[in-house]
Every structure is written in C-alpha cells, then in structure tokens.
Amino acid sequence: MELYELTAHELADLKKENKVSSSEIAYSFLKRIRAVNAKINVFVDYDENKVLEDLKDIEGGKKEESILSGIPIAVKDNMCTKRYKTTCCSKILGDFVPPYNATVVEKLNENGNPILGKLNMDEFAMGSSNENSYFKETKNPWNLERVTGGSSGGSAASVSSGCSVISLGSDTGGSIRQPAAFCGVVGLKPTYGLVSRYGLVAFASSLDQIGPLTKDVTDSALALNIISGYDKKDSTSLKHKKQDYTKALVNDVKGIKIGVPKEYLSDGINNEVKKAVLDSLELLKSLGAEWDEISIPLTEYAIPAYYLISSAEASSNLARYDGVKYGYRADDYDDLLDLYKKTRSEGFGAEVKRRIMLGTYALSSGYYDAYYKKALQVRTLIKKDFDLAFEKYDVILGPTTPTTAYKIGEKIDNPLEMYLGDIYTVSVNIAGLPGMSIPCGFDNNKLPIGMQLISKPLAEDKIFRVAYTFEQNTEFHKERPKL
C-alpha cells in the first residue's frame, strides 16, 4: 500500500515508529498529485519546492507540536497564504498573493504541517458543484463524469483521490458537507466561531466557517484540535476552552438520543439515499442508541432564507473588488465608474453576478423589510426549532444530500434545482450549529452516500462519538475510488 492511501493517524504512527520520514510522506503525495491532478483538477496552485523547503524546519525538529506534525495539508483557495496565490478561483483576483496568512494557515505552520497547495473551488465559494471555478471544474474521483459537489469540491476530491490526507474547506451553506458526501469522505462544519475566520475571504460573514475534510473521523478530530481556538483577530471567534476532540472517539452510543426530522426523509429524496440512512439508524439502534422521528417545521423556508441572507452579505463583501487596489482591472475604460463596471462585468462569473444582484435587490430601499429583514426573522425561528429539539436529543441525523453526485453539466443551467440540493445543510449554518457528513453507503452506480450528524453549539464531541461508533462498525470509510 502506498503512503498516500493511509489516514493521517496511520502515517503519524509510522512516523513515530521511525518507519517513514516526513519527506517520504510528502514525496508520496507530490507523486500522487503529479499522477492524477490533470485528470480531476483538484489543485489550482502548488509548488513542490515550497513543500520541501517547509520540511527542512520540521525534520530539523523545530516544529514538532503534535502527532500530525510533518504531515502535509492542503487548503481551499479562499484562505490567505503568503507563499501561494489566493484567487478564490475567480478572474477578478488574478494573480493576487496576500501579504499575510489566514489564522488557520498560521496554526498549520506552527504545528509543522507543510501546505501542499491551494485547492479548486466554486468562484468565491458560490456553488454546489465546483463547476463555477474560473479555471476548470473539479471531477469526482469516483466517476469522472460526475460533479464533486461544492464549493469545497477540490478539498473533498483531493482527500478522496489521495492527493492529500487532510484538507481545509469552508462551509457557508453545506460547502464542506455536501462535497464530502459526493466524494465519500468525512467533512466537518464546526460551530460558528470555533475556528477563526481571519484570512478567510468572505462570502457571507455570518455563515462562513472553516473545517476539515478527512478520510475518517479520527483524522477529523485531530485536525480540529489543530485549527480550533480563540483568535483575537476575529471578532466572531468564541472564547471557548480548548478541547481534545480525540477524547470523544469512543465506540459506544448507549444512551445517545437521536432525532430524525421527518422533513429530511420526505418527498424529493432519492430512494437509495433514504434506505442507506434508515439502515444506518437501525445499526446505531442495535448498538444502543435511541431514535425518534421529530419535526423541524421551518425546513422548507431554510433555502429562501439562506439565499437572501448569504446573497445580501455577498453583495456587501464583494463590493471591494473594483479593479483599483488589487486583482484584475479592465484595460479599456472611460472614467472611474466605467472602470468599476467593466472590471466587475469581466472579472466575475455568472453565478457570482447572479448572487450580487439578488443581494443588492434584497438590501435596496423599499425591499429591505420585505426580504432581508424577513429572512433574518425566519433565521431566528429556525434556530428556535433546533434549540427545542436539542432539549431532548443529543444529535439530529439525516441525509447530507437528497441525491448522490449528478453528472457534470446536468444542473448548471438550472440554478434553482441546484440550490435545492442544499436543503438539509443550510439550516446548520443559519443556526450556527456543528454538522458532519460521513460515508454511509453507495448507490447502484457505486457513488458514495453521505449521512449528516448535527448537534447543538460546541457539542462536537457528541457528533464525534456517534460518527466514530458508526465508523468502527462499518467499512464504508475504507472504500477508495480507483483512478
């Protein structure tokens, strides 16, 4: 078995036993990237020399901080990196190289984790299929004709394909969990504020959250240990006592109470996805968990509320890209207003323009109360639905997505249909909750199926416990695509 096929904790064990070096691990991933990146388009910027330079300090013993030190990690192209371009996979950012690192990147540096490179994504994290990248769409390692999901499609596919063992993605309405489900990996969206957003290029500031994508639940806990923690540079960062999430990795769900929203298993869900989730519930029940059908009544309003809130915030956040300070600038313009207009028209893709226009409309005079304010009120009610559920249940369980990965090009011209694919994930961001997608089966086309676990704020330990128990009693997470 090649090193790139192992999990991070398996690599760490080999390293601890002096059976492999950090350089050998890095070379294995770099070789894998050379072999398959052209097929699936997961990396948009990587440099072997930079990776090897980073290893000099690590192998010199200067940065040995945790069991994962020396293991390379890849990051999504919307996290600022001083040594790599940060383009958000958009033409408008051109060859922009930030003057500073995102806090999560600094944490990886301090922990001795070389950055493998920057991963493909939907432009400015707007999309559910990774077809909106300015460069190229990322292809699903399980079937090259299928999408990876988005917007962290490159992050999910890099782990699934063996190009990285851990990657970082961002999740605004399911952008970690949905591609994790489509690519058959573990994707964690932490509690809002648990991981610093400093240096994450903003899409929707009240919803965005950085999280890890990994091959198994143990790696997810180890990665969260590194990247979580209070950051004074982020005004939304939580002052929360640092935890060791590996302590929650217990193969036992006795006494755990699981709520299953009837809205998540009703019309619109693929039968194979529904069966895989129900079979998973029966397994957890046989292991000692209890589950009941519950209701999250406002589920149907989550999509419109999410797209109004996120588009309004995007309209504000993306106003800074004007061709003046950095990034792309139109060549031919008459005056300042013409420069703004042409730069933004030429620099932004269709989906980004669509959301900016929707958000600007929702914030405009005469429509603010009818749309944006109403969406914020619905947000409060959705959060109350979850608060009520968590008074009785430890975890809410359901499918991550209504279907498995669809074909590239199948929904790109029907954005509303694509938006509905986020029906089970957007509520988590609206309410600021932690959520995780784990593999729970395969459909008849050998495409992965994801199961989502949700808990109350800062109760990641409950999610890890249930996910780890499920994983220890199944083999789905061990399946790998053949590229």
How crowded is residue 4: how many other Cβ atoms within 10 Å of its Cβ? 21
Please state, in angstroms and as integers, the Cα–Cα distance from residue 365 to each residue in 259, 361, 368, 369, 378, following that order: 41, 9, 6, 9, 20
Residue 211 has pLDDT above 90, yes or no: yes
Q: What angle do CA 125, 131, 137 make, to 5 degrees?
A: 105
Cβ neighbors of 409 (< 8 A, separation 6 or more) are 131
Inter-helix orientation angle 460-472/271-286, to 10°? 90
**Which residue stretches of 287-391 are H helix?**
299-317, 336-347, 350-363, 374-390
Single out the residue of 226, 55, 33, 198 nearest to residue 119, CA to CA: 33
Distance CA 317, CA 116 (A): 28
Which whole number is the average pLDDT over 156-179?
A: 98
Given pLDDT bands bounded at 50, 70 and 90, which one contains residue 60?
Answer: low
What are phi and psi for residue 364, nearest 5 degrees?
-75, 160
Q: Would you say the C-alpha torsion 247, 198, 67, 168 has a positive or negative sign?
A: positive
| Contact of 472 with 217, CB cutoff 8 Å | no
- Active-site residue, selected from the candidate residues 22, 129, 151, 220: 151
Domains of the chain as residue ranges with CATH: 3-252+401-409+434-478 (3.90.1300.10)
pLDDT tens for each residue of 264-277? 998 889 999 999 99
Instruction: Write down the pLDDT at residue 126.
Output: 97
Residue 316 has pLDDT above 70, yes or no: yes
pLDDT tens for each residue of 110-127? 999 999 999 999 999 999
Q: Which amino acid is at 441?
A: G
Instruction: Write down the pLDDT at residue 66.
Output: 81
The string of DSSP letters for 257-290 reads EEEEEGGGGSTTS-HHHHHHHHHHHHHHHHTT-E
Q: Which amino acid is at 91?
A: K
pLDDT tens for each residue of 403-453? 999 999 999 888 878 888 899 999 999 999 999 999 999 999 999 999 999
Active site residue 315: no
- Active-site residue, selected from the candidate residues 158, 175, 427, 455: 175
**Burial class (CB within 10 angstroms; exposed 0-12, middle 13-18, buried 19+) of 62:** exposed
Single out the residue of 330, 295, 6 nearest to residue 166, CA to CA: 6
For residue 378 the two structure tokens come to: 């619905």
Residue 181 has pLDDT above 70, yes or no: yes
Residue 64 has pLDDT above 60, yes or no: no
- Active-site residue, selected from the candidate residues 63, 76, 118, 215: 76
Active site residue 76: yes
Active site residue 151: yes
Instruction: Write down the pLDDT at residue 167.
Output: 98
For residue 404 the two structure tokens come to: 């498995």
The string of DSSP letters for 210-255 reads EEEEESSHHHHHHHHHHHBS--TT-TT--------GGGG--S--TT
Which whole number is the average pLDDT over 358-380?
A: 94
pLDDT tens for each residue of 378-403? 999 999 999 999 999 999 999 999 99
DSSP state of 408: T
Q: Is 197 helix (H, G, I), strand (E, B) or coil?
A: coil
**Side-chain-facing half-sphere of 319: CA atoms under 13 Å:** 9
Which whole number is the average pLDDT over 121-136?
A: 96
